[in-house]
């Protein structure tokens, strides 16, 4: 059945009015959500709490640590574990910048921090060294963390000496000991890199990336030179080689 012209016009006008009405309702609801968010934030500020993200309905997020633990070079939290009543978190500490056609790399050493109550933090290390106070700048990532055999286990990224694995029975500062050969094996091939007119030879198994426990044994999966690593180093003019085509990640486990 065909509508007459004036009926079609009225029909279209009705649709437009309905659409506008629905839009007003949606906008009103959106404004109400924004208003509620503002009220929550204002109430939080008045209570001197640091809520940085609010999801309408039920999820409120509260910031519980100073940005970067006070160091802007702590650009990421890469790992964490709960051990003997403390929450432990490990950072990435590195800054790469381009300057005068070259590249500058700086790190103070990756850090590990812990908290007993979730809001008050104390450092386990702030210089990449889990066993002492001397700086260990090569450990730019605290990359993995787990608990095994009543020990806290931490794996690092170290381009120079290779990945390191550290364990502690207490988790206290300076209580860790290294339990692997750096890079997992001696006599490895080295990756040739030129930085600031000097040649460096980097370890091919540079990161202890992942831990897992299977049949009462601790396994570790390493990170090595991949295509994206080659690309990054070539972009910054650090190498003319393609190292990734002759290496690959490895899996190791503790032997009884």
- Give dist(CA 90, CA 74) in Å, integer: 10
**Do 55 and 74 share a domain, yes or no?**
no
Q: Is the pLDDT of residue 41 over 50?
A: no
pLDDT for the residue 31: 57
Per-residue pLDDT band at 24 (split at 50, 70, 90): low
**Do 180 and 146 share a domain, yes or no?**
yes
**Do 53 and 84 share a domain, yes or no?**
no
Per-residue pLDDT band at 237 (split at 50, 70, 90): low
The last residue of one of the domains, among 15, 33, 61, is: 61
**Do 80 and 203 share a domain, yes or no?**
yes
**Do 98 and 195 share a domain, yes or no?**
yes
- Give dist(CA 58, CA 66) in Å, integer: 25
Q: Average pLDDT, stretch 220-244?
A: 74
The last residue of one of the domains, among 24, 42, 61, is: 61
Q: Which domain holds residue 19?
A: 5-61
What tokens does 212 get? 């897992």
**Do 81 and 148 share a domain, yes or no?**
yes
138-169 tens-digit pLDDT: 899 999 999 999 999 999 999 888 999 999 99
pTM score, whole prediction: 0.74
pLDDT for the residue 19: 56
**Do 56 and 75 share a domain, yes or no?**
no
The total number of structural domains in the chain stands at: 2
**Do 158 and 31 share a domain, yes or no?**
no
**Do 21 and 96 share a domain, yes or no?**
no
57-66 tens-digit pLDDT: 777 888 999 9
**Do 72 and 160 share a domain, yes or no?**
yes
Q: Average pLDDT, stretch 235-245?
A: 68
**Do 168 and 245 share a domain, yes or no?**
yes
**Do 56 and 85 share a domain, yes or no?**
no
- Give dist(CA 244, CA 94) in Å, integer: 22
pLDDT for the residue 231: 73
Q: Which comes out higher in pLDDT, residue 104 or 160?
A: 160
- Give dist(CA 106, CA 134) in Å, integer: 17
């Amino acid at each position: 059945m065909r509508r007459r012209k004036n009926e079609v016009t009225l029909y279209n006008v009705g649709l437009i009015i309905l659409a506008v009405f629905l839009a007003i309702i949606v906008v009103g609801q959106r404004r109400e959500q924004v208003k509620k968010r503002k009220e929550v934030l204002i109430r939080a500020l008045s209570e001197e709490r640091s809520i940085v993200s609010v999801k309408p309905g039920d999820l409120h997020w509260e910031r519980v640590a100073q940005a970067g633990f006070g160091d802007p070079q702590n650009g990421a939290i890469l790992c964490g574990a709960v051990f003997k009543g403390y929450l432990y978190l490990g950072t990435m500490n590195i800054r790469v910048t381009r300057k005068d056609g070259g590249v500058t790399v700086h790190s103070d050493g990756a850090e590990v921090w812990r908290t007993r109550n979730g809001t008050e933090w104390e450092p386990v290390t702030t210089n990449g060294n889990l066993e002492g106070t001397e700086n260990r700048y090569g450990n730019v990532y605290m990359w993995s963390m787990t608990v095994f055999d009543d020990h806290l286990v931490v794996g690092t990224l170290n381009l120079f000496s290779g990945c390191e694995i550290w364990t502690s029975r207490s988790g206290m500062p300076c209580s860790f000991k290294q339990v692997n050969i750096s890079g997992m094996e001696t006599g490895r091939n080295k990756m040739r890199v030129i930085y600031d007119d000097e040649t460096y030879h980097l370890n091919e198994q540079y990161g202890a990336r992942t831990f897992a426990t299977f049949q009462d044994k601790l396994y570790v999966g390493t990170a090595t030179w991949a295509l994206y690593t080659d690309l990054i180093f070539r972009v910054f003019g650090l190498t003319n080689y393609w190292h990734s085509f002759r290496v690959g990640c490895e899996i190791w486990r503790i032997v009884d």
